[in-house]
């Protein structure tokens, strides 16, 4: 009798434990998140001396000759203070500059949710990376409005977030050049394809995010151009709202009165 | 021996319970991620009870300030971005919630990682303030301070946002996740005679078309005319 009781008890315990592992394993699978890259991440500049030197201090891309020539002309125009975009805003893209944002000192502000990753520049708005399995939008549709961030979709390969971006603008409204410049002298054009890999690592007490960018466009590059930036997590930090013109009342007054007021009718 | 076997059985049940509890805790909170829009029946906004000082304040000046902020593409801030008619994009991770609005405004970040508000000397006030959130059951209770006085500052129902404003919000999903109820309570001893509470009911919608954010152009003369001058039918207004 005792032996039967014990046998049955042990059997029941085994079944209960097996069920428990099954249930909790399923919950662990359901609640298992990929690596969470949420946080404020500061790009690490090892000491380039200037923003331009940092942004362009990537492995030199192999560019098509016509792009090299265009870059030389643009450099000459900049030295001569010739700007392209101040007045004519027809048929151009106003918002966003992906390559600038990813290389700039304002930290990347990333919030990773179930279906989408928001990747902003400190307080500003910016990129949306869809991770819900949906494909790219139709970038050739008349209703598609390109921004300087393109259209991004992402998926996880183990602990690495792989992001695919297309749909870059033909012409930018703001900036020293009418096209979206990429580090090293490349371009992000409607024909351009970008793949990024986001990978978290830990060194001593710090957490880093390495983003590897690969730009590919037969209209720009002789072969795909790859480089990496490393970002350091700033735990507990909050973003700064950089609106310098609003912070200085006298500057704001000058800014607002430097434009001729609309005529009263 | 029997006691031993009973003990094994009890331990197994205990382990099972603990495992389920831990697993459940990890997936306990509702997820507000998605696109949320306001509709004609989304608003319950009582009139605020203002202090005598606030009631006698020059509201025409406040209206002009807000109009200038919109005309010059300033960051709108809270509460204006929460009242935007284009769907809000809410992204929720275990550590923080981000709220992105279509018009010109900083992203709102609500920190749910247990952090407290920073010291006043360590934080530069913003149009959205500094927000921390705690779960109370299925409700996310958000506490916001450190607002500045820039952007659109007039509040629904009366009163204005100031650097002394304190905002408490309750976020809760309703109707199987098809609605998001947000109850706002503003306190500011110089503005409100008693805390001012109002509510919005957002509707969940599909992802809106591109672009997802609106790029404001202060140099757009038609837009400037529209915002800053009186309508004149039959004159070609607001085109210059």
In the numeric block, which tokens belong to residue A101?
């944002």
* Count of domains for chain A: 1
Measured distance CA(A110)–CA(A246) in Å, rounded: 25
In the numeric block, which tokens belong to residue B55?
């009631």
Is A29 within the bounds of a domain? Answer: no
Q: Does the CB of B149 have a partner CB in chain A at under 8 Å? A: no
Measured between beta carbons, the chain B residues lying within 8 angstroms of A252 are: 72
Contact between residue B117 and residue B109 where contact means Cβ atoms under 8 Å apart = no
Measured between beta carbons, the chain A residues lying within 8 angstroms of B240 are: 262-263
CB-closest option in A17, A111, A243 to B12:
A17
CA angle A103-A108-A109, nearest 5°?
A: 165
CA of residue A32 relative to chain centroid, distance? 24
Dihedral sign (CA A91, A95, A98, A104): positive
Mark yes or no for CB contact A262/B225 under 8 Å: yes
Quick check: A192 pLDDT over 50? yes
Q: How far is A168 from chain B (nearest CA, A)?
A: 12
* Count of domains for chain B: 1
Measured distance CA(A166)–CA(B152) in Å, rounded: 35
Question: How many of the other CB atoms lie within 10 Å of CB of A45?
Answer: 17
- Which chain B residue is nearest to residue A134, measuring alpha carbons? B207
In the numeric block, which tokens belong to residue A138?
């139709």
Q: Does the CB of B127 have a partner CB in chain A at under 8 Å? A: yes
More confident residue, A33 or A220: A220
Q: Does the CB of B224 have a partner CB in chain A at under 8 Å? A: yes
Is B233 within the bounds of a domain? Answer: no
In the numeric block, which tokens belong to residue B6?
């009973």
More confident residue, A154 or B16: A154
Is B208 within the bounds of a domain? Answer: yes
In the numeric block, which tokens belong to residue A149?
């961030």
Measured distance CA(B106)–CA(B78) in Å, rounded: 9
B22, B71, B109: best mutation site toward chain A, by most A Cβ within 10 Å?
B109
Q: Does the CB of B27 have a partner CB in chain A at under 8 Å? A: yes
Q: How far is A2 from chain B (nearest CA, A)?
A: 7
Is A159 within the bounds of a domain? Answer: yes
Is B3 within the bounds of a domain? Answer: no
Over the stretch A7-48, which tens digit does the pLDDT of each residue have?
665 665 555 555 444 444 332 222 334 699 999 999 998 888
In the numeric block, which tokens belong to residue A201?
């690592």
Alpha carbon of B6 to those of A4, A11, A17, B9: distances in Å?
13, 12, 15, 5
Q: How far is B47 from chain A (nearest CA, A)?
A: 30
Count of residues in chain B? 240
Is A260 within the bounds of a domain? Answer: no
Q: Does the CB of B22 have a partner CB in chain A at under 8 Å? A: yes
Q: Does the CB of A31 have a partner CB in chain B at under 8 Å? A: yes
Phi and psi dihedrals of B183, rounded to 5? -105, 125
Per the rule left: phi > 0, alpha: psi between -120 and 50, beta: everything else, A11 is: alpha
Contact between residue B76 and residue B69 where contact means Cβ atoms under 8 Å apart = yes
Q: Does the CB of A106 have a partner CB in chain B at under 8 Å? A: no
Is A13 within the bounds of a domain? Answer: no
Given this model, what pLDDT does residue B26 score? 41
ipTM over 0.90? The verdict is: no
Contact between residue A195 and residue A228 where contact means Cβ atoms under 8 Å apart = no
Q: How far is A4 from chain B (nearest CA, A)?
A: 10
Over the stretch A72-118, which tens digit does the pLDDT of each residue have?
988 888 788 776 655 566 677 777 888 888 988 889 999 999 899 99
Is B10 within the bounds of a domain? Answer: no
In the numeric block, which tokens belong to residue A49?
């001396």
- Could you tell me the CATH number of the domain that includes residue B67? 2.40.128.20
In the numeric block, which tokens belong to residue B91?
């992204």
Is A205 within the bounds of a domain? Answer: yes
- Which chain B residue is nearest to residue A248, measuring alpha carbons? B150
Q: Which domain holds residue A207?
A: 40-235
Mark yes or no for CB contact A116/B98 under 8 Å: no
Residues 6+ apart with CB under 8 A from B130: A238, B117, B118, B123, B144, B145, B146
Query: Which residues make beta-bridge pairs with A85?
Result: none
Q: Which domain holds residue B115?
A: 30-227
- Which chain A residue is nearest to residue B68, measuring alpha carbons? A256
> What is the full per-residue pLDDT of chain B (240 aa) written as tens digits?
666 666 666 555 555 554 444 444 445 799 999 999 999 999 999 999 999 999 988 888 889 999 999 998 888 999 999 999 999 999 999 999 999 998 888 899 999 999 999 999 999 999 999 999 999 999 999 999 999 999 999 999 999 999 999 999 999 999 999 999 999 999 999 999 999 999 999 999 998 876 677 778 888 889 999 999 999 998 989 986
User: Taking the model in full, what pTM does it have?
Assistant: 0.83
Residue B97 three-state SS: strand
């Amino acid at each position: 009798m005792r032996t039967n009781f014990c046998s049955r008890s042990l059997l029941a315990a085994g079944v209960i434990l097996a069920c428990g592992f099954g249930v909790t394993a399923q919950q662990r699978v359901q609640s298992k998140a990929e690596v969470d890259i949420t946080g404020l991440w500061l790009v690490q500049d090892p000491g380039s001396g200037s923003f331009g030197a940092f942004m362009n201090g990537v492995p030199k891309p192999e560019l098509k000759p016509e792009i090299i020539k265009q870059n030389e002309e643009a450099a000459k125009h900049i030295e001569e203070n010739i700007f392209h975009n101040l007045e004519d805003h027809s048929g151009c893209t106003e918002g966003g500059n992906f390559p600038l944002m990813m290389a700039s000192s304002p930290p990347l502000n990333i919030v990773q949710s179930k279906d989408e990753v928001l990747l902003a520049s400190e307080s500003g708005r910016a990129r949306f990376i869809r991770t819900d399995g949906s494909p790219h939008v139709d970038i050739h549709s008349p209703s598609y409005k390109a921004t300087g961030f393109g259209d991004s979709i992402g998926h996880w390969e183990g602990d690495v977030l792989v992001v695919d971006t297309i749909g870059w603008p033909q012409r930018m409204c703001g900036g020293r050049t009418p096209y979206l410049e990429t580090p090293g002298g490349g371009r992000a054009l409607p024909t351009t394809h970008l793949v990024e890999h986001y990978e978290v690592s830990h060194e001593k007490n710090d957490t880093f995010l390495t983003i590897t960018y690969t730009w590919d466009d037969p209209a720009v590059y002789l072969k795909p151009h790859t480089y990496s930036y490393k970002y350091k997590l700033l735990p507990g930090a909050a973003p700064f709202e950089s609106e310098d013109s609003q912070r200085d009342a006298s500057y704001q007054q000058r800014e607002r009165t430097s434009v001729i007021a609309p005529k009263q009718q | 021996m029997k006691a031993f076997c009973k003990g094994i059985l009890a331990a197994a049940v205990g382990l099972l319970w603990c495992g389920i509890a831990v697993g459940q805790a990890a997936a306990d909170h509702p997820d507000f991620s998605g696109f949320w829009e306001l509709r004609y029946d989304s608003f319950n906004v009582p009139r605020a009870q203002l202090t005598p000082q606030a009631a006698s304040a020059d509201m025409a000046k406040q209206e002009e300030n807000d109009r200038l902020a919109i005309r010059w593409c300033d960051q709108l801030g809270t509460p204006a971005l929460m009242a935007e008619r284009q769907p809000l994009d809410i992204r929720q991770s275990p550590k923080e919630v981000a709220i992105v609005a279509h018009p010109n405004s900083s992203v709102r970040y609500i920190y749910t990682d247990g952090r407290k508000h920073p010291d006043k000397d360590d934080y530069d006030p913003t149009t959205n303030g500094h927000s921390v959130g705690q779960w109370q059951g299925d409700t996310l209770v958000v506490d916001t301070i450190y607002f500045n006085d820039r952007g659109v500052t007039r509040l629904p129902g009366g009163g204005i946002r100031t650097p002394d404003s304190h905002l408490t919000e309750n976020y809760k999903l309703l109707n199987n996740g098809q609605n998001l109820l947000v109850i706002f309570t503003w306190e500011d001893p110089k503005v409100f005679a008693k805390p001012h509470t109002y509510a919005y009911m957002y509707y969940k919608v599909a992802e809106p078309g591109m672009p997802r954010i609106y790029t404001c152009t202060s140099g757009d003369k038609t837009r400037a005319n529209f915002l800053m001058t009186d309508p004149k039918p039959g004159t070609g207004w607001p085109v210059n």
